[in-house]
Structure 1
Amino acid sequence: MLRRRAALVTAALLTAGLAGCSGGTAAAPQRPAPDVPAKATTPAPRVPAGHAPTQSFAVGVRQLKLNRDGDRPLPVTVWYPARGAAGGAPERSAPAATGRFPVVMFSHGLGARPEDYQLLLSRWAAAGFVVAAPRFPHTGAGGDGNPLDVLNQPADVSYALTQVLALNTKAGDPLRGRLDPDRVAAAGHSAGGVTTIGLFTAGRDERLDAGIVFAGTALGVGTGFAGAAAPQLFVHGEADEVVSYAAGKAVYDAVPWPKAMLSLPRGDHGRALLSNGKALRVVADTTLEFLRWTLYGDAAAKKRLPADAARGGLATLDDHL
């Protein structure tokens, strides 16, 4: 069975090349008819009701040098709310802002780097989230590009999450007392989307309260979503030339928890995440409202989510949250 799974992953990922950015122009497929959503097993979100920060923060950035089992180097880039005036570029090792902030683990695509996604991830940090993004040893830029290693990445993310959360109690660390270990989400793009799905299926990490999947597929990790209910937001371009929209929709349909799917009719495999434009604004605003709701318990953010998704007529939202 493992050999068969490996063959499927190799065929899908190696042939398609789940790159962090793609600029194809494939025609948009017909959207499958929506299924009736399954009921959530528990109320969502799991976090207590509350309010997300209303102010925008300056953003700091730092690097962690991690290594799982001694042979899996995992340098982690961390963006976090920082002191100072909001709106500037991320500042290396800036003093952290006062407060306790939820944590979002982000997984990059094949051949990509965490910093490729800085436009999006720094917006999350400016809104009051600590975003930690490991660079995977084989699928990251400069690695050997082995797509089979995606199957090891959910465990990498869980390991990195443990190390990041440990900073909250580490004497002298700049993030000591600034992290909220009870409010954690995972997100990822392309091969990182596979990784993220795996964190809620075969490699379920029960610390995770929510997930965001950008252009992901379940090949290799399956759709056996397990554990406590964790709301999921899927983001997929209908003209995705690498991971078909239908493939992403099939995984979304299998989610048994509160869920929503943001579809971009003209969206490809990743340009909306990597290029500063109107599509990035829609994706950033929609994902932020989702994170505010799931990690801060902010009910008002959930109510704003459909309007943010509809701005400019660039996307549609299938909402079962």
Structure 2
Amino acid sequence: MPRRRVSATLAAVLLAAGLAGCSGDTGPAWRAAPPAESPKATTPAPRVPAGSAPSEPFAVGVRELRLNRDGDRPLPVTLWYPARGAAGGAAERSAAPAAGRFPVVMFSHGLGGRPDDYATLVTRWAAAGFVVAAPAFPHTSRGTDGNVLDVLNQPADVSYALTKVLALDGAAGDPLRGRLATDRVAAAGHSAGGVTTIGLFTAGRDDRLDAGVVFAGTALGVGTAFAGAAAPQLFVHGEADEVVDYAAGRAAYDRVPWPKAMLSLPKGDHGRALLTDGAALRVVSDTTVEFLRWTLYGDAAAKRRLPADATRGGIATLDDRL
């Protein structure tokens, strides 16, 4: 067996062990070796032009795309987007999109999860002026065979889904025609979805991505060979994570060669705070919104606000290298 195949197989086995408890209350933690010295950031700013993010919140609409990669990888994608109407309510099915052009964020769920599990968080992103597209993966979403090794195929799933989502901007008759800022794109994900997200900047680098947000993720299986143009990264990790050890997330973060920050929650677990509203989710959502405003709208004021949002209430600490 060629060495590359052996290495890939070993990485897959380790990944399965490390993420076995991704969506549950308990599971084996993967512990990292002490991190190597962090590379220096290569650029001080995102690559999008300077600008301003919307200052007022939007109502939120939600719809679903039915995609299938290669005919055997069904990928239903839930889309949350800024919509017309009064802000502050629940997402409305198939609501008319708001006027404007909005950056796109691809979101990847954890093992045994579904996009709707993260509705509170991603609805806040959409209300802030982002179109969020979240595929349900064919082997790791709830109700499938739960094959954790398939996580290694998910970066390609996200890139495929991104192509289809961006195509809506030019699709005659589609409600999102002319509403997508197709040159301003980020990837985000939780746990196994965090692995997927890191993979989109390493082995499966998608050059369309301008930024990444990694929740409780590790680079196990996808590596830390970050490649391509600089893309700022925000890592979010609970120091009491019982599935993906905090040191594992920190080790991946330390290898990012670009502008980056790590939001650490001293009492945070594997991410249950992402699923229900509360003080921790409010800190996480506000911090990630400011990060996305900076990286996808070029909003320098959002970058200046980010440290205060991250440390509000003493719930989290921020290692800020942005």
TM range (shorter): over 0.9
Q: Across the two proteins, how many residue pairs are aligned to each other?
A: 318
Aligned equivalent of 2:96? 95
Aligned equivalent of 2:41? 39
1:25 & 1:206 partners in 2: Cα distance? 34
Report the Cα offset of residue 272 of structure 1. 1.7
Distance 1:286 1:25, change over 3 A: farther
Aligned equivalent of 1:246? 247
Report the Cα offset of residue 24 of structure 1. 5.2
Runs of 4+ aligned residues of structure 1 deviating over 6 Å after TM superposition are none
TM-score (norm 1): 0.95
The 5 Å alignment of 1:65-104 reads 65-104=66-105
1:262 & 1:18 partners in 2: Cα distance? 22
Give the partner amino acid of 2:5.
L
Q: Is the 8 A contact 1:151 1:195 kept in 2?
A: yes
Report the Cα offset of residue 319 of structure 1. 0.3
* 1:61 is aligned to 2:62: yes
* 1:240-271 Cα shifts (integer Å, max 9, x gaps): 01000000000000000000000000000011
SS in 2 for 1:121: helix
Q: Is the 8 A contact 2:115 2:136 kept in 1?
A: yes
Report the Cα offset of residue 9 of structure 1. 2.8
TM-score (norm 2): 0.94
* 1:55-80 Cα shifts (integer Å, max 9, x gaps): 10000000000000111000000000
Give the partner amino acid of 2:311.
A
Report the Cα offset of residue 17 of structure 1. 1.7
Aligned equivalent of 2:311? 310
Give 5+ residue unaligned stretches, structure 2: none
1:294 & 1:62 partners in 2: Cα distance? 25
Report the Cα offset of residue 10 of structure 1. 2.6
SS in 1 for 2:318: strand
Give the partner amino acid of 1:261.
M
Report the Cα offset of residue 104 of structure 1. 0.1
Aligned equivalent of 1:7? 10
Aligned equivalent of 1:178? 179
SS in 2 for 1:186: strand
Q: CA RMSD in A?
A: 2.1
The 5 Å alignment of 1:149-168 reads 149-168=150-169
The 5 Å alignment of 1:153-232 reads 153-232=154-233
Aligned equivalent of 2:112? 111
Give the partner amino acid of 1:310.
T
SS in 1 for 2:218: coil
* 1:121-159 Cα shifts (integer Å, max 9, x gaps): 000000000000000000111111111111110000000
Report the Cα offset of residue 52 of structure 1. 0.3
1:161 & 1:25 partners in 2: Cα distance? 31
Q: Is the 8 A contact 1:24 1:268 kept in 2?
A: no
Q: Is the 8 A contact 2:121 2:275 kept in 1?
A: yes
Identity %: 75
Distance 1:164 1:184, change over 3 A: same
Aligned equivalent of 1:265? 266
Distance 1:295 1:18, change over 3 A: farther
Give the partner amino acid of 2:258.
W
Report the Cα offset of residue 213 of structure 1. 0.4
* 1:204-251 Cα shifts (integer Å, max 9, x gaps): 000000000000011111000000000000000000010000000000
Q: Is the 8 A contact 1:138 1:146 kept in 2?
A: yes
Q: Is the 8 A contact 2:18 2:243 kept in 1?
A: no
